[in-house]
Amino acid sequence: DQQVKQNSPSLSVQEGRISILNCDYTNSMFDYFLWYKKYPAEGPTFLISISSIKDKNEDGRFTVFLNKSAKHLSLHIVPSQPGDSAVYFCAASGSSNTGKLIFGQGTTLQVKP
């Protein structure tokens, strides 16, 4: 049973517009969420994170929103740039704080010039 789900395999947006990537989770014990970005032939790179005690975290063009009641988080990229084209993974960590991450399947974002 997959505990972290990214239901959109792909997303295409125009340069300068907003990109919204979504993620749902089932385990209410998750207390920390992260977004990773992955280019082809490279490992995932940390992008932004949010603790379960917050509902929003912002870092430059990237903002993550957390809705705990809906068990849903989203990543907003504004404005989107062609260099943002990559696979984005949502990940969650449980309260045991072991460092073990549970990943979603990833969403491929294409930003068109």
Partner 1 sequence: EAGVTQFPSHSVIEKGQTVTLRCDPISGHDNLYWYRRVMGKEIKFLLHFVKESKQDESGMPNNRFLAERTGGTYSTLKVQPAELEDSGVYFCASSPGSLYGYTFGSGTRLTVV
Residues that bind partner 1 (CB under 8 A): 2, 4, 32, 34, 36, 41-46, 89, 91, 93, 97-106
Measured from the CB atom, is 44 or 80 closer to partner 1? Answer: 44
For residue 47, CA distances in Å to 1, 96, 113 come to: 26, 22, 22
Measured from the CB atom, is 42 or 69 closer to partner 1? Answer: 42
Smallest separation (angstroms) from partner 1 to the CB of 90: 10
For residue 79, CA distances in Å to 15, 22, 72, 84 come to: 7, 17, 22, 10
Measured from the CB atom, is 17 or 72 closer to partner 1? Answer: 72
Smallest separation (angstroms) from partner 1 to the CB of 14: 25
